Structure 1
Protein backbone atom coordinates (compact mmCIF):
# COMPACT_ATOMS: atom_id res chain seq x y z
CA UNK A 1 0.00 0.00 0.00
CA UNK A 2 1.38 3.39 -1.03
CA UNK A 3 1.84 5.80 1.88
CA UNK A 4 -0.38 8.87 1.84
CA UNK A 5 1.51 12.03 0.81
CA UNK A 6 0.61 14.82 3.20
CA UNK A 7 1.40 18.47 3.74
CA UNK A 8 -0.19 20.88 6.19
CA UNK A 9 -2.07 23.88 4.84
CA UNK A 10 -3.03 26.89 6.96
CA UNK A 11 -5.19 29.79 5.80
CA UNK A 12 -4.80 33.08 7.70
CA UNK A 13 -7.79 35.40 7.51
CA UNK A 14 -8.97 38.50 9.28
CA UNK A 15 -11.51 36.62 11.44
CA UNK A 16 -10.20 33.06 11.53
CA UNK A 17 -7.08 30.96 11.04
CA UNK A 18 -7.88 27.53 9.60
CA UNK A 19 -5.74 24.49 8.95
CA UNK A 20 -5.81 20.85 7.89
CA UNK A 21 -3.46 18.15 6.62
CA UNK A 22 -3.96 17.70 2.89
CA UNK A 23 -3.80 14.47 0.90
CA UNK A 24 -1.64 15.71 -1.98
CA UNK A 25 -2.78 13.05 -4.42
CA UNK A 26 -6.49 13.70 -3.93
CA UNK A 27 -6.34 17.43 -3.15
CA UNK A 28 -8.57 16.87 -0.11
CA UNK A 29 -8.29 17.24 3.64
CA UNK A 30 -7.09 14.01 5.22
CA UNK A 31 -8.89 14.89 8.45
CA UNK A 32 -11.34 17.50 9.69
CA UNK A 33 -10.29 21.13 9.42
CA UNK A 34 -9.64 23.10 12.62
CA UNK A 35 -10.39 26.80 13.03
CA UNK A 36 -9.18 29.24 15.68
CA UNK A 37 -10.28 32.88 15.84
CA UNK A 38 -7.71 35.38 14.64
CA UNK A 39 -6.37 37.36 17.63
CA UNK A 40 -7.97 40.81 17.96
CA UNK A 41 -4.47 42.28 17.87
CA UNK A 42 -3.28 40.29 14.85
CA UNK A 43 0.43 41.06 15.10
CA UNK A 44 2.94 38.61 13.59
CA UNK A 45 3.83 37.18 17.01
CA UNK A 46 0.20 36.68 18.05
CA UNK A 47 -0.75 35.06 14.76
CA UNK A 48 2.37 32.86 14.87
CA UNK A 49 1.24 31.54 18.26
CA UNK A 50 -2.15 30.52 16.83
CA UNK A 51 -0.48 28.85 13.85
CA UNK A 52 1.78 26.94 16.27
CA UNK A 53 -1.33 25.77 18.14
CA UNK A 54 -2.79 24.45 14.89
CA UNK A 55 0.44 22.66 13.98
CA UNK A 56 0.57 21.08 17.43
CA UNK A 57 -3.03 19.93 17.03
CA UNK A 58 -2.14 17.94 13.90
CA UNK A 59 1.39 16.93 14.94
CA UNK A 60 0.57 13.29 15.62
CA UNK A 61 -0.61 12.92 11.99
CA UNK A 62 2.52 14.46 10.47
CA UNK A 63 6.10 13.46 9.93
CA UNK A 64 8.53 15.90 11.62
CA UNK A 65 9.70 16.92 8.14
CA UNK A 66 6.22 17.58 6.78
CA UNK A 67 6.20 21.15 5.38
CA UNK A 68 3.63 23.81 6.20
CA UNK A 69 2.09 26.02 3.53
CA UNK A 70 0.54 29.21 4.89
CA UNK A 71 -1.66 31.68 3.05
CA UNK A 72 -1.62 35.35 3.98
CA UNK A 73 -4.02 38.16 3.03
CA UNK A 74 -0.98 40.04 1.76
CA UNK A 75 1.51 40.40 -1.05
CA UNK A 76 4.25 37.88 -0.26
CA UNK A 77 7.66 38.55 -1.79
CA UNK A 78 10.55 36.24 -0.94
CA UNK A 79 8.98 35.36 2.39
CA UNK A 80 8.29 38.99 3.34
CA UNK A 81 4.71 40.24 3.69
CA UNK A 82 4.57 43.52 1.79
CA UNK A 83 0.97 44.49 2.57
CA UNK A 84 -1.76 43.64 5.09
CA UNK A 85 -5.50 43.22 4.45
CA UNK A 86 -7.65 42.79 7.57
CA UNK A 87 -4.59 42.02 9.73
CA UNK A 88 -2.28 44.22 11.76
CA UNK A 89 -0.12 46.73 9.87
CA UNK A 90 2.94 45.27 11.63
CA UNK A 91 2.95 42.64 8.86
CA UNK A 92 3.90 45.23 6.23
CA UNK A 93 7.55 44.71 5.28
CA UNK A 94 7.88 41.90 7.86
CA UNK A 95 10.08 38.78 7.43
CA UNK A 96 7.10 36.54 8.12
CA UNK A 97 8.41 33.28 6.73
CA UNK A 98 11.54 33.52 8.86
CA UNK A 99 9.54 34.08 12.05
CA UNK A 100 7.21 31.18 11.29
CA UNK A 101 10.02 28.74 10.51
CA UNK A 102 11.72 29.67 13.78
CA UNK A 103 8.44 29.32 15.68
CA UNK A 104 7.37 26.00 14.14
CA UNK A 105 10.72 24.31 13.59
CA UNK A 106 9.52 23.15 10.16
CA UNK A 107 9.90 24.18 6.54
CA UNK A 108 7.38 26.96 5.97
CA UNK A 109 6.24 28.39 2.63
CA UNK A 110 4.20 31.57 2.62
CA UNK A 111 1.90 32.50 -0.26
CA UNK A 112 -0.75 35.10 -1.03
CA UNK A 113 -4.21 33.70 -0.28
CA UNK A 114 -5.63 34.20 -3.78
CA UNK A 115 -2.51 32.66 -5.33
CA UNK A 116 -2.97 29.58 -3.14
CA UNK A 117 -6.58 29.25 -4.26
CA UNK A 118 -5.54 29.57 -7.89
CA UNK A 119 -2.92 26.85 -7.48
CA UNK A 120 -5.52 24.54 -5.96
CA UNK A 121 -7.94 25.10 -8.83
CA UNK A 122 -5.14 24.57 -11.36
CA UNK A 123 -3.91 21.37 -9.74
CA UNK A 124 -7.16 19.79 -8.57
CA UNK A 125 -10.18 21.88 -9.53
CA UNK A 126 -11.90 23.83 -12.29
CA UNK A 127 -8.65 24.53 -14.20
CA UNK A 128 -7.07 21.09 -13.86
CA UNK A 129 -5.27 20.24 -17.09
CA UNK A 130 -5.91 23.68 -18.59
CA UNK A 131 -3.27 24.94 -21.00
CA UNK A 132 -2.20 28.53 -21.55
CA UNK A 133 -3.05 31.35 -19.16
CA UNK A 134 -5.59 30.77 -16.41
CA UNK A 135 -6.75 33.78 -14.40
CA UNK A 136 -8.63 33.08 -11.20
CA UNK A 137 -10.47 35.87 -9.44
CA UNK A 138 -11.98 35.65 -5.97
CA UNK A 139 -14.99 37.90 -5.54
CA UNK A 140 -15.48 38.85 -1.90
CA UNK A 141 -14.61 41.81 0.33
CA UNK A 142 -12.27 42.78 -2.50
CA UNK A 143 -11.15 41.03 -5.68
CA UNK A 144 -8.21 38.68 -5.32
CA UNK A 145 -6.47 37.21 -8.33
CA UNK A 146 -4.10 34.46 -9.39
CA UNK A 147 -2.40 34.00 -12.76
CA UNK A 148 -1.17 30.56 -13.79
CA UNK A 149 0.51 29.98 -17.15
CA UNK A 150 0.91 26.37 -18.27
CA UNK A 151 0.89 25.31 -14.62
CA UNK A 152 3.34 27.96 -13.40
CA UNK A 153 2.14 30.49 -10.83
CA UNK A 154 2.86 34.15 -11.55
CA UNK A 155 2.55 35.48 -7.97
CA UNK A 156 1.04 38.64 -6.51
CA UNK A 157 -0.91 39.81 -9.55
CA UNK A 158 -3.37 42.01 -7.57
CA UNK A 159 -5.73 42.44 -10.53
CA UNK A 160 -8.46 43.66 -8.19
CA UNK A 161 -6.59 46.96 -8.02
CA UNK A 162 -6.58 47.70 -11.73
CA UNK A 163 -7.85 51.22 -12.38
CA UNK A 164 -10.89 50.96 -14.61
CA UNK A 165 -12.89 54.02 -15.66
CA UNK A 166 -11.23 56.03 -12.91
CA UNK A 167 -12.03 53.57 -10.12
CA UNK A 168 -10.11 50.88 -8.27
CA UNK A 169 -11.77 47.81 -9.81
CA UNK A 170 -12.73 46.09 -6.58
CA UNK A 171 -14.43 49.24 -5.29
CA UNK A 172 -17.04 48.74 -8.04
CA UNK A 173 -17.18 45.03 -8.70
CA UNK A 174 -16.41 43.10 -5.49
CA UNK A 175 -19.31 41.07 -4.08
CA UNK A 176 -19.14 43.21 -0.92
CA UNK A 177 -20.16 46.20 -3.07
CA UNK A 178 -23.07 44.24 -4.50
CA UNK A 179 -24.38 43.63 -0.99
CA UNK A 180 -23.68 47.13 0.33
CA UNK A 181 -25.42 48.81 -2.63
CA UNK A 182 -28.23 46.26 -2.85
CA UNK A 183 -27.48 45.47 -6.49
CA UNK A 184 -29.39 42.79 -8.33
CA UNK A 185 -27.33 40.13 -10.08
CA UNK A 186 -28.25 41.75 -13.39
CA UNK A 187 -26.94 45.18 -12.34
CA UNK A 188 -23.85 43.70 -10.69
CA UNK A 189 -23.14 41.65 -13.81
CA UNK A 190 -22.81 44.90 -15.80
CA UNK A 191 -19.95 45.89 -13.51
CA UNK A 192 -18.41 42.44 -13.75
CA UNK A 193 -18.69 42.62 -17.54
CA UNK A 194 -16.64 45.82 -17.60
CA UNK A 195 -14.06 44.37 -15.22
CA UNK A 196 -13.57 41.08 -17.03
CA UNK A 197 -13.53 42.61 -20.52
CA UNK A 198 -10.66 44.89 -19.44
CA UNK A 199 -8.73 41.99 -17.90
CA UNK A 200 -9.42 39.95 -21.03
CA UNK A 201 -8.07 42.73 -23.28
CA UNK A 202 -4.93 43.21 -21.18
CA UNK A 203 -3.94 39.56 -20.72
CA UNK A 204 -5.77 37.42 -23.35
CA UNK A 205 -6.34 34.51 -20.94
CA UNK A 206 -7.46 31.05 -22.02
CA UNK A 207 -9.72 30.53 -19.00
CA UNK A 208 -11.27 32.56 -16.19
CA UNK A 209 -12.09 30.81 -12.91
CA UNK A 210 -14.34 32.66 -10.46
CA UNK A 211 -14.06 31.92 -6.75
CA UNK A 212 -15.24 33.48 -3.51
CA UNK A 213 -18.42 32.68 -1.61
CA UNK A 214 -20.61 34.23 -4.30
CA UNK A 215 -19.40 31.58 -6.77
CA UNK A 216 -22.04 29.30 -5.21
CA UNK A 217 -24.54 31.43 -7.15
CA UNK A 218 -22.53 31.44 -10.37
CA UNK A 219 -25.58 30.48 -12.43
CA UNK A 220 -27.13 33.82 -11.46
CA UNK A 221 -24.43 36.00 -13.04
CA UNK A 222 -21.84 34.14 -15.14
CA UNK A 223 -24.33 33.48 -18.00
CA UNK A 224 -24.90 37.26 -18.20
CA UNK A 225 -21.26 37.93 -19.11
CA UNK A 226 -20.32 38.16 -22.79
CA UNK A 227 -16.61 37.35 -23.16
CA UNK A 228 -14.42 35.56 -25.67
CA UNK A 229 -12.77 33.68 -22.83
CA UNK A 230 -14.54 30.74 -21.16
CA UNK A 231 -15.47 31.61 -17.56
CA UNK A 232 -16.33 28.94 -14.99
CA UNK A 233 -16.95 28.78 -11.22
CA UNK A 234 -14.30 27.42 -8.89
CA UNK A 235 -14.77 23.89 -7.58
CA UNK A 236 -12.83 23.74 -4.33
CA UNK A 237 -14.65 26.65 -2.68
CA UNK A 238 -13.51 27.26 0.92
CA UNK A 239 -10.92 24.45 0.88
CA UNK A 240 -8.87 26.01 -1.92
CA UNK A 241 -6.53 28.18 0.15
CA UNK A 242 -5.49 25.37 2.48
CA UNK A 243 -5.15 22.84 -0.35
CA UNK A 244 -3.14 25.19 -2.57
CA UNK A 245 -0.80 26.23 0.22
CA UNK A 246 -0.14 22.61 1.16
CA UNK A 247 0.57 21.64 -2.45
CA UNK A 248 2.99 24.53 -2.92
CA UNK A 249 4.81 23.69 0.31
CA UNK A 250 5.31 20.07 -0.70
CA UNK A 251 6.32 20.96 -4.24
CA UNK A 252 8.94 23.47 -3.13
CA UNK A 253 10.32 21.25 -0.39
CA UNK A 254 10.66 18.29 -2.77
CA UNK A 255 12.67 20.42 -5.17
CA UNK A 256 14.74 22.03 -2.42
CA UNK A 257 13.49 25.50 -3.30
CA UNK A 258 12.20 28.45 -1.32
CA UNK A 259 10.73 31.86 -2.16
CA UNK A 260 10.51 31.11 -5.89
CA UNK A 261 7.78 30.65 -8.43
CA UNK A 262 6.91 26.95 -8.30
CA UNK A 263 6.25 24.81 -11.33
CA UNK A 264 3.12 22.71 -11.04
CA UNK A 265 2.78 19.41 -12.81
CA UNK A 266 -0.90 19.16 -13.66
CA UNK A 267 -0.44 15.58 -14.82
CA UNK A 268 1.17 14.34 -11.61
Structure 2
Protein backbone atom coordinates (compact mmCIF):
# COMPACT_ATOMS: atom_id res chain seq x y z
CA UNK A 1 0.00 0.00 0.00
CA UNK A 2 1.03 3.63 -0.48
CA UNK A 3 2.93 5.37 2.29
CA UNK A 4 0.98 7.76 4.45
CA UNK A 5 0.97 11.43 3.53
CA UNK A 6 2.86 14.06 5.51
CA UNK A 7 -0.07 16.38 4.72
CA UNK A 8 -3.30 16.56 6.69
CA UNK A 9 -5.29 18.46 4.06
CA UNK A 10 -5.14 18.67 0.27
CA UNK A 11 -7.38 20.57 -2.12
CA UNK A 12 -9.30 18.51 -4.68
CA UNK A 13 -10.64 19.90 -7.95
CA UNK A 14 -12.95 18.25 -10.49
CA UNK A 15 -12.91 19.95 -13.92
CA UNK A 16 -16.00 19.33 -16.02
CA UNK A 17 -17.43 20.69 -19.23
CA UNK A 18 -20.04 22.76 -17.39
CA UNK A 19 -18.56 23.34 -13.94
CA UNK A 20 -15.30 23.35 -11.98
CA UNK A 21 -15.76 22.08 -8.43
CA UNK A 22 -13.35 22.13 -5.52
CA UNK A 23 -13.08 21.46 -1.80
CA UNK A 24 -10.41 20.88 0.84
CA UNK A 25 -10.17 17.22 1.88
CA UNK A 26 -9.16 15.72 5.22
CA UNK A 27 -6.66 13.07 4.12
CA UNK A 28 -7.29 10.89 7.16
CA UNK A 29 -11.04 10.52 6.64
CA UNK A 30 -11.62 11.56 3.03
CA UNK A 31 -14.24 14.07 4.21
CA UNK A 32 -14.52 17.66 3.02
CA UNK A 33 -13.31 20.14 5.63
CA UNK A 34 -15.48 22.90 4.11
CA UNK A 35 -18.43 22.98 1.73
CA UNK A 36 -17.63 22.25 -1.89
CA UNK A 37 -17.73 25.26 -4.20
CA UNK A 38 -18.63 25.24 -7.90
CA UNK A 39 -17.80 27.87 -10.53
CA UNK A 40 -19.15 27.51 -14.09
CA UNK A 41 -16.57 26.44 -16.63
CA UNK A 42 -15.64 29.46 -18.78
CA UNK A 43 -17.53 29.59 -22.06
CA UNK A 44 -14.20 29.72 -23.89
CA UNK A 45 -12.52 27.06 -21.76
CA UNK A 46 -8.90 27.74 -22.70
CA UNK A 47 -6.10 26.66 -20.34
CA UNK A 48 -5.55 30.23 -19.10
CA UNK A 49 -9.26 30.79 -18.48
CA UNK A 50 -9.62 27.54 -16.54
CA UNK A 51 -6.42 28.22 -14.58
CA UNK A 52 -7.90 31.57 -13.56
CA UNK A 53 -11.06 29.89 -12.25
CA UNK A 54 -9.00 27.36 -10.31
CA UNK A 55 -6.89 30.09 -8.73
CA UNK A 56 -10.15 31.80 -7.70
CA UNK A 57 -11.47 28.55 -6.23
CA UNK A 58 -8.31 27.90 -4.22
CA UNK A 59 -8.14 31.50 -2.95
CA UNK A 60 -11.69 31.17 -1.64
CA UNK A 61 -10.62 28.74 1.09
CA UNK A 62 -8.32 29.07 4.08
CA UNK A 63 -5.77 26.35 3.36
CA UNK A 64 -2.50 25.36 4.99
CA UNK A 65 0.39 27.04 3.20
CA UNK A 66 1.78 23.70 2.00
CA UNK A 67 -1.54 22.05 1.04
CA UNK A 68 -1.12 20.50 -2.44
CA UNK A 69 -3.74 20.46 -5.18
CA UNK A 70 -5.11 17.39 -6.94
CA UNK A 71 -7.01 17.82 -10.19
CA UNK A 72 -9.44 15.39 -11.85
CA UNK A 73 -9.41 16.18 -15.57
CA UNK A 74 -11.81 14.95 -18.30
CA UNK A 75 -9.18 13.45 -20.62
CA UNK A 76 -6.26 11.00 -20.57
CA UNK A 77 -3.03 12.48 -19.21
CA UNK A 78 0.59 11.43 -19.72
CA UNK A 79 2.35 12.41 -16.48
CA UNK A 80 0.11 15.46 -16.33
CA UNK A 81 0.30 16.38 -20.02
CA UNK A 82 -3.04 16.50 -21.90
CA UNK A 83 -3.10 14.07 -24.85
CA UNK A 84 -6.37 15.22 -26.38
CA UNK A 85 -9.59 16.81 -25.18
CA UNK A 86 -13.27 16.27 -25.94
CA UNK A 87 -15.16 18.56 -23.54
CA UNK A 88 -12.92 21.63 -23.33
CA UNK A 89 -11.14 23.98 -25.75
CA UNK A 90 -8.91 22.33 -28.36
CA UNK A 91 -5.94 24.43 -27.19
CA UNK A 92 -5.53 22.05 -24.22
CA UNK A 93 -3.68 19.47 -26.31
CA UNK A 94 -0.07 19.21 -25.14
CA UNK A 95 -0.57 21.39 -22.04
CA UNK A 96 1.36 20.37 -18.89
CA UNK A 97 -1.53 20.75 -16.45
CA UNK A 98 0.42 20.59 -13.16
CA UNK A 99 2.88 23.20 -14.43
CA UNK A 100 0.06 25.49 -15.61
CA UNK A 101 -1.75 25.31 -12.28
CA UNK A 102 1.41 25.61 -10.20
CA UNK A 103 2.07 28.92 -11.95
CA UNK A 104 -1.54 30.02 -11.28
CA UNK A 105 -1.70 28.99 -7.61
CA UNK A 106 1.88 28.68 -6.35
CA UNK A 107 1.10 25.20 -5.00
CA UNK A 108 2.27 21.70 -5.83
CA UNK A 109 -0.19 20.10 -8.26
CA UNK A 110 -0.94 16.53 -9.37
CA UNK A 111 -3.38 15.93 -12.25
CA UNK A 112 -5.08 12.69 -13.30
CA UNK A 113 -7.92 11.53 -15.49
CA UNK A 114 -11.29 12.08 -13.78
CA UNK A 115 -12.30 8.40 -13.80
CA UNK A 116 -8.91 7.49 -12.31
CA UNK A 117 -9.41 10.07 -9.56
CA UNK A 118 -12.83 8.61 -8.72
CA UNK A 119 -11.38 5.11 -8.59
CA UNK A 120 -8.63 6.19 -6.21
CA UNK A 121 -11.20 7.93 -4.02
CA UNK A 122 -13.33 4.78 -3.76
CA UNK A 123 -10.29 2.56 -3.12
CA UNK A 124 -8.84 4.75 -0.40
CA UNK A 125 -11.98 6.06 1.31
CA UNK A 126 -15.10 4.53 -0.23
CA UNK A 127 -16.61 1.23 -1.29
CA UNK A 128 -13.24 -0.48 -1.88
CA UNK A 129 -11.45 0.89 1.19
CA UNK A 130 -9.02 -1.63 2.61
CA UNK A 131 -9.25 -3.91 -0.42
CA UNK A 132 -6.03 -4.92 -2.14
CA UNK A 133 -5.64 -7.07 -5.24
CA UNK A 134 -7.07 -6.02 -8.61
CA UNK A 135 -9.86 -3.48 -8.12
CA UNK A 136 -11.77 -2.03 -11.07
CA UNK A 137 -14.06 0.97 -10.86
CA UNK A 138 -16.46 1.60 -13.72
CA UNK A 139 -18.61 4.73 -13.98
CA UNK A 140 -21.79 4.35 -16.01
CA UNK A 141 -23.00 7.68 -17.35
CA UNK A 142 -22.90 9.48 -20.68
CA UNK A 143 -20.01 7.14 -21.45
CA UNK A 144 -18.18 4.47 -19.47
CA UNK A 145 -15.21 5.58 -17.40
CA UNK A 146 -12.80 3.16 -15.81
CA UNK A 147 -10.07 3.08 -13.18
CA UNK A 148 -7.85 0.06 -12.50
CA UNK A 149 -5.91 -0.33 -9.25
CA UNK A 150 -3.54 -3.14 -8.30
CA UNK A 151 -2.78 -3.40 -4.57
CA UNK A 152 -3.77 0.27 -4.26
CA UNK A 153 -1.57 1.49 -7.13
CA UNK A 154 -3.31 3.17 -10.05
CA UNK A 155 -2.82 1.90 -13.61
CA UNK A 156 -3.68 5.17 -15.40
CA UNK A 157 -5.76 5.94 -18.49
CA UNK A 158 -7.35 2.52 -19.01
CA UNK A 159 -10.30 3.87 -21.08
CA UNK A 160 -12.13 0.53 -20.86
CA UNK A 161 -15.36 2.12 -22.03
CA UNK A 162 -13.89 2.00 -25.52
CA UNK A 163 -13.39 -1.75 -25.72
CA UNK A 164 -14.86 -3.11 -28.94
CA UNK A 165 -17.52 -5.71 -28.17
CA UNK A 166 -19.53 -7.37 -30.95
CA UNK A 167 -18.33 -4.70 -33.38
CA UNK A 168 -19.40 -1.74 -31.24
CA UNK A 169 -17.65 0.68 -28.92
CA UNK A 170 -18.76 -0.68 -25.55
CA UNK A 171 -20.06 2.58 -24.13
CA UNK A 172 -22.30 3.16 -27.16
CA UNK A 173 -24.34 0.12 -26.05
CA UNK A 174 -23.76 -0.27 -22.32
CA UNK A 175 -23.49 3.27 -20.92
CA UNK A 176 -26.42 4.62 -18.92
CA UNK A 177 -27.04 7.09 -21.75
CA UNK A 178 -27.75 4.13 -24.05
CA UNK A 179 -30.26 2.75 -21.52
CA UNK A 180 -32.06 6.07 -21.46
CA UNK A 181 -31.80 6.79 -25.18
CA UNK A 182 -33.18 3.39 -26.19
CA UNK A 183 -35.63 3.24 -23.26
CA UNK A 184 -34.24 -0.15 -22.21
CA UNK A 185 -35.69 -2.04 -19.29
CA UNK A 186 -33.30 -2.82 -16.44
CA UNK A 187 -33.29 -6.45 -17.64
CA UNK A 188 -32.34 -5.60 -21.24
CA UNK A 189 -29.68 -3.17 -20.08
CA UNK A 190 -28.47 -5.78 -17.61
CA UNK A 191 -27.81 -8.19 -20.47
CA UNK A 192 -25.65 -5.57 -22.16
CA UNK A 193 -23.79 -4.95 -18.92
CA UNK A 194 -23.28 -8.69 -18.55
CA UNK A 195 -21.56 -8.83 -21.96
CA UNK A 196 -19.42 -5.85 -21.05
CA UNK A 197 -18.33 -7.16 -17.68
CA UNK A 198 -17.75 -10.67 -19.09
CA UNK A 199 -15.25 -9.11 -21.49
CA UNK A 200 -13.58 -7.08 -18.75
CA UNK A 201 -13.29 -10.16 -16.53
CA UNK A 202 -11.73 -12.18 -19.35
CA UNK A 203 -9.09 -9.49 -19.92
CA UNK A 204 -8.28 -8.36 -16.38
CA UNK A 205 -9.62 -10.86 -13.80
CA UNK A 206 -10.55 -8.18 -11.24
CA UNK A 207 -11.30 -9.35 -7.72
CA UNK A 208 -13.66 -6.46 -7.01
CA UNK A 209 -15.68 -4.22 -9.34
CA UNK A 210 -17.09 -0.93 -8.04
CA UNK A 211 -19.86 0.68 -10.09
CA UNK A 212 -20.28 4.46 -9.97
CA UNK A 213 -22.07 7.15 -11.94
CA UNK A 214 -25.47 8.63 -11.20
CA UNK A 215 -27.25 5.38 -12.05
CA UNK A 216 -25.45 3.62 -9.20
CA UNK A 217 -28.09 4.97 -6.82
CA UNK A 218 -30.41 2.45 -8.54
CA UNK A 219 -27.90 -0.39 -8.11
CA UNK A 220 -30.53 -2.67 -6.61
CA UNK A 221 -32.31 -2.72 -9.99
CA UNK A 222 -29.40 -3.97 -12.11
CA UNK A 223 -26.42 -5.26 -10.10
CA UNK A 224 -28.36 -8.34 -8.87
CA UNK A 225 -28.99 -9.25 -12.54
CA UNK A 226 -25.26 -9.74 -13.20
CA UNK A 227 -23.51 -13.11 -12.84
CA UNK A 228 -19.77 -12.51 -12.48
CA UNK A 229 -16.80 -14.16 -10.83
CA UNK A 230 -15.81 -10.87 -9.20
CA UNK A 231 -17.73 -9.27 -6.38
CA UNK A 232 -19.54 -6.21 -7.80
CA UNK A 233 -20.73 -3.41 -5.50
CA UNK A 234 -22.00 0.18 -5.81
CA UNK A 235 -19.74 3.17 -5.21
CA UNK A 236 -20.31 5.08 -1.98
CA UNK A 237 -18.61 8.47 -2.50
CA UNK A 238 -20.79 9.31 -5.53
CA UNK A 239 -20.04 12.80 -6.85
CA UNK A 240 -17.39 13.42 -4.17
CA UNK A 241 -15.12 10.66 -5.48
CA UNK A 242 -13.20 12.70 -8.06
CA UNK A 243 -12.37 15.53 -5.67
CA UNK A 244 -11.43 13.16 -2.85
CA UNK A 245 -9.32 10.88 -5.06
CA UNK A 246 -7.50 13.77 -6.72
CA UNK A 247 -6.70 15.35 -3.35
CA UNK A 248 -5.42 12.02 -2.06
CA UNK A 249 -3.16 11.55 -5.09
CA UNK A 250 -1.77 15.06 -4.65
CA UNK A 251 -0.63 14.17 -1.17
CA UNK A 252 0.65 10.64 -1.86
CA UNK A 253 0.63 10.00 -5.59
CA UNK A 254 1.87 6.40 -5.69
- Check whether the contact 1:69–1:109 (CA below 8 A) recurs between aligned residues: yes
The CA distance in 2 between the partners of 1:56 and 1:131, in whole Å, is 36
Question: CA separation of 1:19/1:218 partners in 2, compared to 1, >3 Å: closer, same or farther?
Answer: same
SS in 1 for 2:157: coil
Map 1:1-268 onto structure 2 (within 5 A): 5-58=8-61, 61-252=62-253, 262=254
Kept in 1, the 8 Å contact 2:7–2:251? The answer is no
CA distance in 1, matches of 2:114, 2:165: 23
Give, in whole Å, the separation in 2 of the partners of 1:221 and 1:83. Answer: 33
Matched residues in 1 for 2:189 and 2:44: separation?
35
TM (norm. structure 2) is 0.95
CA contact (8 A) 2:7 2:67 kept: no
Deviation at 1:4, TM superposition (A): 8.6
Q: Please, what TM-score do these two structures have when normalized by structure 1?
A: 0.91
- CA deviations 1:199-244 (Å, max 9, x no partner) are 0011111000000010000001000011111100001000000000
More off after superposition, 204-213 vs 81-90: 81-90
CA drift at 1:35:
0.4
The structural deviation recorded for 1:131 is: 2.1
> What secondary structure, in the 3-state scheme, does the structure 1 residue paired with 2:67 have?
coil
- Unaligned 5+ runs, structure 1: 253-261, 263-268
Aligned length: 249
Aligned partners of 1:169 and 1:89: how far apart in 2? 25
- Residues 228-268 of structure 1: CA distance to partner in whole angstroms, max 9, x if unpaired? 1110000100000000000000114xxxxxxxxx1xxxxxx
Task: Provide the rounded CA distance (Å) in 2 between the counterparts of 1:158 and 1:245.
Answer: 18
CA contact (8 A) 2:72 2:243 kept: yes
Q: Distance in 2 between matches of 1:84 and 1:140?
A: 18
Point out 4+ residue stretches in structure 1 off by more than 2 angstroms: none
Q: Which structure 2 residue ranges, 5 or more long, are not aligned?
A: 1-5
Asked if the contact 1:178/1:188 (under 8 Å) is kept, the reply is yes
8 Å CA contact 1:14, 1:85 repeated in 2: no
Question: SS at 2:246's partner residue?
Answer: helix
The offset of 1:41, in angstroms, is 1.3
C-alpha distance in structure 2 between counterparts of 1:57 and 1:200, whole Å: 44
RMSD of aligned residue pairs (Cα, Å):
1.2
